[in-house]
Structure 1
Amino acid sequence: MIPTDYRFITPLDVLFLRGNKLFGAPGSYGESLIPPWPSVAAGALRSRILVEDKVDLQAFAENRLPHPSLGTPMDPGSFTLTAFHLARRYMDGRVEMLMPLPADLVISRDLQEALQLQRLVPTALESAGIQHAFPLPLCPVLPAPQRNKSLSGYWLTETGWHQHLSGARIDHAHLVPQGHLWRLEDRVGIGLDPQQRSAAEGKLFTMQAVSLLQRGHALDPLHPTVVGDYDVGFVVGVTGATLPRSGTLRLGGDGRGAQISGMEHTPSEPDYAGMVQQKRARIVLTSPGIFDAGWLPNGVRKTDQGDYILALEGVRGRLVCAAVSRSEVVSGWDVARRQPKTAQRVAPSGSVYWIDDLQAQPEALRKITTAGLWDPDSDNPSRRAEGFNRFTWAAW
């Protein structure tokens, strides 16, 4: 297995984690995106590596000076972002990753107003006499005895995440409210006149700033005596390059300051042998998926008989069900070329795909997890290096 270098990133200021909407025009409002795209972390880390190695940035940007692990902007090297997750670090140094709710997990309240967690179940609706236009043979159905409004704004602890992946019942203690992790603040910006090099009259806009909670901050503004004993930041994992163990980064819009520090992390491995024996499993995206066929993962093809077959790097199976949230659009700013990156529609993190008739060896499942959902002849090496199309296997 390729070794992964992990680091913990702590912001030193509020962050501007810009989404994909234009802003800056008079009266515009720029929203922040939590969690940000993995390319945000990849760009910050690569910039730090270039500066630390005293690389001529202009020559690198013009593809005239390749870096041993970063390659060039046109031809990336071995550097690959494999993990980028929200996390919190406790006083004893322990770091706990936090994961957004996957698409097959629904939170609601029961009649006693207590939180309840329910899983979507792949179901054949034709047997119940229900007609539908879903392209796959099974539909993800919520088996609920009564109608409930689903809740948002919760995150899973690392333990709760692994409970969900293994198919075990999730303890409510492993749900973390969004309000215990960050606050949003509105900041007013002023447009500049490039000729006069001064503020332009009447050009005010608003940006949403993200303030990740740090140790000692009140968890609930209404109860200021209840404070958190952790710092909220990000965990990053990288293969193919050595990351600095300490120092600062320029992170997000406006290059706000963040601190990078070393950490030890040994990720839990799925039960590959059990999945091979049961011949079925779930694929859960841990980063946005840039797929050639939209919501369909790379490696899945529709046959003339109407089946959706997964055939990728020694892994074969039949896609029978999927829970994919509303698609998103990823773009960004290309620093080397000084222009926007091509906008691409993506399947969001947390999307779930159920695979039946799974035919693979445990080592093949491990290999495809390490590589991500990319075709071997993919013509998008930059997005691969930035950490898109990452996933994990889960029990079904």
Structure 2
Amino acid sequence: MVATATRQTLFIEPLDVLILRGNKLFGDPGSFGESLVPPWPSVAAGAIRSALLAHKGVDLRAFASGQVQDPELGTPQQPGSFRVVNFRLARRFADGRVDSLCAPPADLVIRRKDGGVLECVRVQPRELPAGIQSSAVTKLHAVLPERERSKPEGGYWLTHEGWVAYLKGNDLDMNSHLVRSSDLWALDTRVGVGLDPAKRSAAEGKLFTVQAVAMRKQHHANGRDHDVGFLAEVEGATIPNELMLRFGGDGRAARASLLDSVPSEPDLTEPIVKARRCRLILTSPGIFPGGWLPTGATQNDTGEIRFALHGVLARLVCAAVPRCEVVSGWDLAKWQPKPAKRVAPTGSVYWLDELEATPAQLRNLVARGLWSDPPEDAAQRAEGFNRFTWGLWP
């Protein structure tokens, strides 16, 4: 079976441990290569793109040099219609049901109360009291309301039901809406040996360590009823029912299977238009001309930050953006590293008010992503960066 070139969803099931390298250099003697879970969406985009080229019988060397152009995949310099629009961690149950998983966004803090009970607390946009100064340029500040200082708990993921409740501004159920990282994957530390290219043998004294990621499986002796992998939504290409992928560092094996149905996010555009305010939540890293400011946001002479992109107008009044990250990667066509770029991390949250848009314009902006027309970088747009969703401002 072959799917049409509309939006399709793939479940990517690792068949081996994965080497999901981040952006830290390693390979020198004594260095440590930490894995990044989930990896950047460009990892999925490159793996699927390469598998599609092989499936179509395209000469990979000719494609890499720009001598061959594919109507859907374009060229390495000018991508075609194919693009990744969503990439997340996911688990597939024995009955075939797939549940997407998201890391808690920046405005959601999980902490442990007295007695060891978990609770979720939302960061709230607030004006600072008189006498307190800040370097933030937004009108409001993202404040965590608490009587006593507490330490956030890490290592938790939102289930799809938890993600929907979060977008709607509802309370989360600590028992059913959260999953621990230890229930999803385990890390396997491995030792690598540096090679001497001249002698084509191991280089003396060059040992390094790298993390391998072992995704949980149903057949593992852990009593779990699901396989853990990734969910990738793609559009603009004709996808076969199944693809074998070389995924992540060292090209470890993974199988991508088309899904007939997946749980969808709620359409909150009607209540957002009525309320004239909302949250904008990044679902992939944001590569923006303004650094932490999303594409379309500019600060005027009065100090206000106005947002205007593809017909959606608003005022940006608050932001919760974690410390910037750096993305890069390996360019197979040029056989060299991609330029390193600073990004606003996945899960960054922006609060907008004075919203002027129709529901159709809000949905259109989500479909486009936070890119200008034409996009600032067509290749990285195809790789799945600058994706977001709307959430209610409770």
The two structures have a TM-score, normalised by structure 1, of: 0.96
Maintained 8 Å contact 1:281/1:356: yes
- Quick one: which of 148, 153, 156 aligns to 1:154? 156
Tell me the equivalent position of 1:279. Answer: 276
Deviates more, 1:257-266 or 1:8-17: 257-266
Tell me the equivalent position of 1:191. Answer: 194
Establish whether residue 367 from structure 1 lines up as the match of residue 390 from structure 2: no
Following the alignment from structure 2 to structure 1, what is the Cα–Cα distance between the partners of residues 281 and 200?
49
Deviates more, 1:274-283 or 1:191-200: 191-200
Following the alignment from structure 2 to structure 1, what is the Cα–Cα distance between the partners of residues 323 and 178?
23
Tell me the equivalent position of 1:230. Answer: 226
Q: Deviation per CA, 1:131-183: give whole Å up to 9, x if none.
A: 22221010011111222111111000000001000001111121101110011
Establish whether residue 344 from structure 1 lines up as the match of residue 341 from structure 2: yes
Amino acid across the alignment from 2:122: R
Task: Give the gaps of 5 or more residues in structure 1.
Answer: 220-226
Question: Which runs of structure 1 show a deviation greater than 4 angstroms over 4 or more consecutive aligned residues?
Answer: none
Establish whether residue 201 from structure 1 lines up as the match of residue 204 from structure 2: yes
Establish whether residue 166 from structure 1 lines up as the match of residue 162 from structure 2: no
Maintained 8 Å contact 1:10/1:260: yes
Following the alignment from structure 2 to structure 1, what is the Cα–Cα distance between the partners of residues 226 and 163?
19
- Post-superposition offset of 1:266: 5.0
Following the alignment from structure 2 to structure 1, what is the Cα–Cα distance between the partners of residues 316 and 39?
29
Establish whether residue 70 from structure 1 lines up as the match of residue 73 from structure 2: yes
Maintained 8 Å contact 1:17/1:253: yes
Establish whether residue 239 from structure 1 lines up as the match of residue 240 from structure 2: no
Following the alignment from structure 2 to structure 1, what is the Cα–Cα distance between the partners of residues 302 and 199?
66
Tell me the equivalent position of 1:262. Answer: 258
Following the alignment from structure 1 to structure 2, what is the Cα–Cα distance between the partners of residues 218 and 166?
37
Maintained 8 Å contact 1:7/1:245: no
Tell me the equivalent position of 2:64. Answer: 61
- Post-superposition offset of 1:124: 0.6
Maintained 8 Å contact 2:193/2:208: yes
Amino acid across the alignment from 1:158: H
- Quick one: which of 12, 16, 40 aligns to 1:9? 12
Amino acid across the alignment from 1:211: A
Following the alignment from structure 1 to structure 2, what is the Cα–Cα distance between the partners of residues 143 and 217?
42
Following the alignment from structure 1 to structure 2, what is the Cα–Cα distance between the partners of residues 54 and 168?
49
Following the alignment from structure 1 to structure 2, what is the Cα–Cα distance between the partners of residues 217 and 7?
23
- Post-superposition offset of 1:211: 0.6
Q: Deviation per CA, 1:51-93: give whole Å up to 9, x if none.
A: 0000011111111111110100010000110011000000000
1:60-209 equivalent positions in 2, closer than 5 A: 60-126=63-129, 128-172=130-174, 173-209=176-212
Tell me the equivalent position of 1:224. Answer: none
Tell me the equivalent position of 1:377. Answer: 374
| Equivalent position SS for 1:100 | coil
Amino acid across the alignment from 1:212: M
Establish whether residue 252 from structure 1 lines up as the match of residue 254 from structure 2: no
1:36-51 equivalent positions in 2, closer than 5 A: 36-51=39-54
Tell me the equivalent position of 2:302. Answer: 305
Following the alignment from structure 2 to structure 1, what is the Cα–Cα distance between the partners of residues 323 and 376?
25
Amino acid across the alignment from 1:290: I
Following the alignment from structure 2 to structure 1, what is the Cα–Cα distance between the partners of residues 204 and 136?
53
Establish whether residue 388 from structure 1 lines up as the match of residue 380 from structure 2: no
The two structures have a TM-score, normalised by structure 2, of: 0.96
| Equivalent position SS for 1:125 | coil
Amino acid across the alignment from 2:158: L
Amino acid across the alignment from 2:212: A
- Post-superposition offset of 1:245: 1.5
Amino acid across the alignment from 1:260: A
Amino acid across the alignment from 2:9: Y
Deviates more, 1:45-54 or 1:144-153: 144-153
Tell me the equivalent position of 1:223. Answer: none
Q: Deviation per CA, 1:35-61: give whole Å up to 9, x if none.
A: 100000000000000000000111111
Identity among equivalent positions (%) equals: 54
Q: CA RMSD in A?
A: 1.2
Maintained 8 Å contact 1:270/1:394: no
Q: Deviation per CA, 1:332-365: give whole Å up to 9, x if none.
A: 0100011111110000000000000000000000
Amino acid across the alignment from 1:262: L
| Equivalent position SS for 1:40 | helix
Task: Give the gaps of 5 or more residues in structure 2.
Answer: none
Following the alignment from structure 2 to structure 1, what is the Cα–Cα distance between the partners of residues 144 and 30?
42
Maintained 8 Å contact 1:5/1:242: no
Maintained 8 Å contact 1:100/1:155: yes
- Post-superposition offset of 1:185: 1.1
Following the alignment from structure 1 to structure 2, what is the Cα–Cα distance between the partners of residues 282 and 58?
45
- Post-superposition offset of 1:218: 4.7
Maintained 8 Å contact 1:103/1:350: yes
Following the alignment from structure 1 to structure 2, what is the Cα–Cα distance between the partners of residues 63 and 40?
21
Maintained 8 Å contact 2:99/2:263: no
Maintained 8 Å contact 2:244/2:255: yes
